[in-house]
């Protein structure tokens, strides 16, 4: 009989990036790379484990923008094009390495086999729709899919307009129910951003639980009896689960965690930058800008410019060793914690960004597979579990009001509100107020007005994505983030004026509907707030 539980949580998210107006758009590669590096490898691991009758559990967020992109025919077609291009490049690499660099041939062969297999899985087995693959494993009871806010909006900085927060949650829950034919039980709060009172909106949408960072529970009122190793109930009965720092850090930290091991593949050494320009030109940016191709032949090696060649077998041996180490440490945690618990069993919550597995940490999916196999076969101290299963086993918990918190630098919103991005918020608040005004004013719109009102709601939601503020802070693709923020704000304001002036530009509206087609069934009345009627004293 197990002494405690481990809940692995993968937060799976990308911002909504879709540019039908261009035949090629660089930032769309974020999606194609994640499909090829992370989502398909994770699904393949689920298939492997299930086919071997290995019981496993994983909690898996699929954010609404990602669901929308996975189901979009244009992006599906472009993803196939991307994989085929990589297969062509890998075929050329087989010829080149065999002739000129035979020490790299095995790695070139690995990529060719991987890309070819993934094309089959994506196009034939999963019919280009990976949502259906994840849905399959939820139905089998192996993963629990949770939702997120509609466009990953950072909710603590929206609370001055509660309707903006309500819309982010309500739109997400509606899409989840439409996609999975069941209501979402849990939610990943974007950036783990929580503020007291948010749980009321979650309960209105029948959400049973959410996650916060460690200090969100530790600094709750009253202090939690079991720290972060058991959920707590908010005063209204919604459960809050909190991150365990030790288990999280051992995986996500590139410097102190497993992904930084010298035997693992180096992410930054890519043939897109290493090889002759004329040779690689057809496989990089059409404007000739060198970019990552995904073919990387070197291992991390160490803090040196001289990198050694990647050895796949050695890397997988290292991943298996790290999986054993992770399991051993969790066993010791559980053994210790179980002596402190009286009326329930301890729970370790280990959340990670899903894109770490495969994209940034090439061997991450295999590490996860090794870990789940080892937990199944090699120990009896702990058991994998989902939050819903844990709440069903242990329905009684301490009532605590969590503290306002987020994850990220310093843990209190600073990543999303500082000098590089603070300019966006008064604009976001203003257009949220205007959206609420439109919803109040137009209760019975004509068909064209309704279309414009729904598109205005989409533009507002897309402007609110926390990804744009994050990118501005981290200084990665700043121009794109600034442009996207300004575009959605301006497009909302244009629609607002057209609606108010009763002069809707049909061509303009159709262009936005075709380009920013997220949430096709959205209802702008999600922003409507019924006015409370005053009641005379008796």
Average pLDDT over residues 161-180: 97
- Would you state the pLDDT for residue 535? 32
Per-residue H/E/C for 175-244? HHHHHHCCCCCEEECHHHCECCCHHHHHHHCCCCEEEECHHHHHCCECCCCCCCCCCEECCCCCEEEECC
- At residue 252 the predicted structure's pLDDT band, cuts being 50, 70 and 90, is confident
CATH code reported for the domain at 4-71+130-256+324-410:
3.20.110.10
232-233 and 239-242 beta bridge pairing: antiparallel
Mean pLDDT of 191-199: 98
> How does pLDDT run across 12-60, given as a tens digit for each residue?
999 999 999 999 999 999 999 999 999 999 999 999 999 999 999 999 9
Short-list 301, 296, 305, 307, CA closest to 273: 296
Residue 220 has pLDDT above 80, yes or no: yes
Confidence of residue 343 (pLDDT cuts 50, 70, 90): confident
pLDDT at 342: 86
Measured CA to CA, the distance from residue 227 to residue 245 in angstroms comes to 12
From the candidate CATH numbers 3.40.50.300, 1.25.40.10, 3.30.1490.100, 1.20.1430.10, the one assigned to the domain spanning 417-527? 1.20.1430.10
Q: What is the pLDDT of residues 126-137, one digit of tens each?
A: 999 999 999 999
pLDDT band (50, 70, 90) for residue 530: low
* pLDDT value for 77: 98
Count of residues in the chain: 538
Q: What is the mean pLDDT of residues 95-102?
A: 97
Interhelix angle 40-51/364-377, rounded to 10 degrees, is 20
List helix spans (H) across 239-276: 245-252, 271-274
Is the pLDDT reported for residue 184 higher than 90? Answer: yes
- Checking if the pLDDT of 253 tops 90, the result is no
**Spatial CA neighbour of 176 closest among 37, 249, 71:** 71
Which of 74-88, 180-194, 247-261, 311-325 bottoms out in mean pLDDT, i.e. has the lowest?
A: 247-261
Tokens (6 digits) for 169 = 């949650």
Mean pLDDT value of segment 485-494 = 98
Please give the structure tokens belonging to residue 468: 């744009």
State yes or no: pLDDT of 332 exceeds 80. yes
Strands (E), 56-120: 58-62
Percent of the chain surpassing pLDDT 90: 96
Q: Rounded to the nearest 5°, which phi and psi values hold at 403?
A: -90, 150
Q: In angstroms, rounded to a whole number, what is the distance separating the alpha carbons of residues 458 and 433? A: 15
Q: Mind giving me the DSSP string for 369-413?
A: HHHHHHHHHS-SSEEE--HHHHHHH-----B-BPPSB-SSGGGSS
Mean pLDDT of 204-232: 97
Residue 232, pLDDT above cutoff 70 = yes
**Has residue 531 got a pLDDT over 90?**
no
pLDDT of residue 537: 29
Find the mean pLDDT for residues 334-363: 96
Angle at 149 between CA 144 and CA 151, to 5 degrees: 120
pLDDT surpasses 50 at 481: yes
Distance separating alpha carbons of residues 159 and 188, to the nearest angstrom: 17
Ranges of CATH 1.20.1430.10 domains, the chain:
417-527
The arithmetic mean of pLDDT across residues 514-533, rounded, is 86
Structure tokens at 364: 């991450």
């Amino acid at each position: 009989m197990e002494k405690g539980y481990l809940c692995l949580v993968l937060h799976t998210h990308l911002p909504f990036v879709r540019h039908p107006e261009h035949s090629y758009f660089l930032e769309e590669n974020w999606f194609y790379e994640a499909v090829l590096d992370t989502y398909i490898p994770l699904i393949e691991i689920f298939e492997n484990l299930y086919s071997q009758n290995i019981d496993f559990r994983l909690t898996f967020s699929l954010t609404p923008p990602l669901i929308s992109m996975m189901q979009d025919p244009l992006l599906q077609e472009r993803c196939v094009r991307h994989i085929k291009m990589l297969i062509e490049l890998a075929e050329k690499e087989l010829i080149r390495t065999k002739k000129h660099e035979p020490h790299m041939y095995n790695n070139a062969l690995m990529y060719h086999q991987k890309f070819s297999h993934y094309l089959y899985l994506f196009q034939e087995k999963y019919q280009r729709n990976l949502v259906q693959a994840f849905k399959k494993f939820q139905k089998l009871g192996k993963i629990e899919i949770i939702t997120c806010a509609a466009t990953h909006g950072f909710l603590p900085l929206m609370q001055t307009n509660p309707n903006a927060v309500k819309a982010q949650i309500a739109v997400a829950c509606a899409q989840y129910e439409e996609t999975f034919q069941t209501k979402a039980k849990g939610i990943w709060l974007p950036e783990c951003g929580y503020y007291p009172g948010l749980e009321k909106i979650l309960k209105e949408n029948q959400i049973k639980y959410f996650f916060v960072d460690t200090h969100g529970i530790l600094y709750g009122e009253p202090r939690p009896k079991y720290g972060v190793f058991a959920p707590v109930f908010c005063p209204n009965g919604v459960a809050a689960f909190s991150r365990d720092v030790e288990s999280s850090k051992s995986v996500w930290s590139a410097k102190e965690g497993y992904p930084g091991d010298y035997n693992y593949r180096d992410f930054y050494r890519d043939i897109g930058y290493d090889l002759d320009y004329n040779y690689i030109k057809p496989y990089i940016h059409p404007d000739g800008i060198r970019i990552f191709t995904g073919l990387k032949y070197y291992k991390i090696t160490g803090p040196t410019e001289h990198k050694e060649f990647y050895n796949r077998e050695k890397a997988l041996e290292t991943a298996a060793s790290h999986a054993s180490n992770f399991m051993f440490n969790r066993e010791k945690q559980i053994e210790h914690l179980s002596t402190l618990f009286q009326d329930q069993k301890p729970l370790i919550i280990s959340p990670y960004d899903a894109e770490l597995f495969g994209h940034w940490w090439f061997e991450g999916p295999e590490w996860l597979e090794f870990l789940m196999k080892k937990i199944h076969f090699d120990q009896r101290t702990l058991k994998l579990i989902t939050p819903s299963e844990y709440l069903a086993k242990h329905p009684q918990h301490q009532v605590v009001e969590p503290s306002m918190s987020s994850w990220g630098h310093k843990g209190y919103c600073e990543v999303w509100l500082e000098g590089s991005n603070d300019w966006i918020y008064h604009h976001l608040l203003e257009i949220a107020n205007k959206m609420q005004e439109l919803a109040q004013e137009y209760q019975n719109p004509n068909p064209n007005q309704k279309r414009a009102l729904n598109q205005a709601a989409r533009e507002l939601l897309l402007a609110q994505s926390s990804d744009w503020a994050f990118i501005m802070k981290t200084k990665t693709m700043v121009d794109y983030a600034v442009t996207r923020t300004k575009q959605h704000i301006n497009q909302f304001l244009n629609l607002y004026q057209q609606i108010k002036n009763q002069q809707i530009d049909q061509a303009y509206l159709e262009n936005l509907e075709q380009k920013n087609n997220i949430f096709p069934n959205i209802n702008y009345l999600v922003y409507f707030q019924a006015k409370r009627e005053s009641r005379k004293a008796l």
